[in-house]
Amino acid sequence: DGGITQSPKYLFRKEGQNVTLSCEQNLNHDAMYWYRQDPGQGLRLIYYSQIVNDFQKGDIAEGYSVSREKKESFPLTVTSAQKNPTAFYLCASSIYGLAGGSDTGELFFGEGSRLTVL
Amino acid sequence: AQSVTQLGSHVSVSEGALVLLRCNYSSSVPPYLFWYVQYPNQGLQLLLKYTSAATLVKGINGFEAEFKKSETSFHLTKPSAHMSDAAEYFCAVNPITGGGNKLTFGTGTQLKVEL
C-alpha cells in the first residue's frame, strides 16, 4: 500500500541534543511538508520541498533543518537552537508542489512523531 | 494572505444529535477547501474536499459539507453523531493562486460526543 511512513513514533531526548525525524513516501509525490502541532494552535508549517534538492522555509523554520536528496525522503532535524521542541510533528506530501499543477493541493499525512525533550 | 477560521475550539453533542462544525475562509476567488479528521496521536485523514464540481460535498463516515460562496463558508455536518466521531477536525484552504499550492489550516475543533 502506498503511503507515508514516519519514524520514530515516540522520541525522548535531553535538552541540547539534535534529533532527526524520518519521513518516507512511496506515493511518487513531488512535494513534501513538515508541520508542527501544539494543542490549540493547529498545524504550523516548518519546511516544505516542491522538488528534489530544493526546499523552502515555512512559518516557523527557526531551529529546524531539512534535506531532500531523494524524492521519497524528507528528514527533519530538530536542532538544539529550537527553544521549545516538545511537540507532535507531522509529515505530509502532495502530488505537485508548484501552483499550476492539476491537483487540488490535497495533503496526505503520515502518522506523526511525538518528540518530548526532557 | 488566505486564512481559515473555525468557530468554536470545542464542540459537544449528544450521541444521535446533529453535528455542525463551522469553517469560514477568506479568498477573492473560490478556493479548494478541505476537511480533515485527526484521532489522538495519529495523522490527519481527509474527510472530504470541495473542488468546484458541486457545492454539496459528501465525504466518508456520513459527513458532508456545503460550499456557500456568498457566506464564504464551508461548514461540516453529520445528521447523527456517533461516539466514534469524537476527534479533532481541521478545515483547510488552498487559495489556488499565489499560494504555491500549499494548504492553510484552521486551528481545529475538538468534537466531543456524549451518551
- Is the pLDDT at B98 greater than 70? The verdict is no
B4 exposed, middle or buried (CB, 10 Å; 0-12, 13-18, 19+)? buried
Q: For residues B49 and B32, is the Cβ–Cβ distance under 8 A?
A: yes
Q: Which residues of B touch A106 (CB under 8 A)?
A: 32, 34, 46, 49
Chain B residues interacting with chain A (CB cutoff of 8 angstroms): 9, 32, 34, 36, 41-46, 49, 51, 90, 92, 94, 96-103, 105-108
Residue A96: Cβ within 10 Å count: 17
A42-97 tens-digit pLDDT: 899 999 999 999 999 999 999 999 999 999 999 999 999 898 999 999 999 998 76
Confidence of residue B21 (pLDDT cuts 50, 70, 90): very high
Among residues A13, A87, A92, the alpha carbon closest in space to that of A58 is found at: A92
Measure the CA–CA gap between B33 and A25, rounded to whole angstroms: 24
Q: Mutate which of A4, A43, A91, A115 to disrupt the B interface (most B C-beta within 10 Å)?
A: A43
Among residues A67, A83, A23, A99, the alpha carbon closest in space to that of B98 is found at: A99
Nearest to A104 among B41, B94, B97 (CB): B94
Measure the CA–CA gap between A42 and B108, rounded to whole angstroms: 6
A8-42 tens-digit pLDDT: 999 999 988 999 999 999 999 999 999 999 988 88
Inspect the interface and report whether the beta carbons of B107 and A40 lie closer than 8 Å: yes
Inspect the interface and report whether the beta carbons of B46 and A106 lie closer than 8 Å: yes
Q: Which residues of A touch B51 (CB under 8 A)?
A: 104
Phi, psi for residue B75 in degrees, rounded to 5: -75, 145
Q: Return the half-sphere exposure (C-beta side, CA atoms, 13 A cut-off) of residue A28.
A: 1
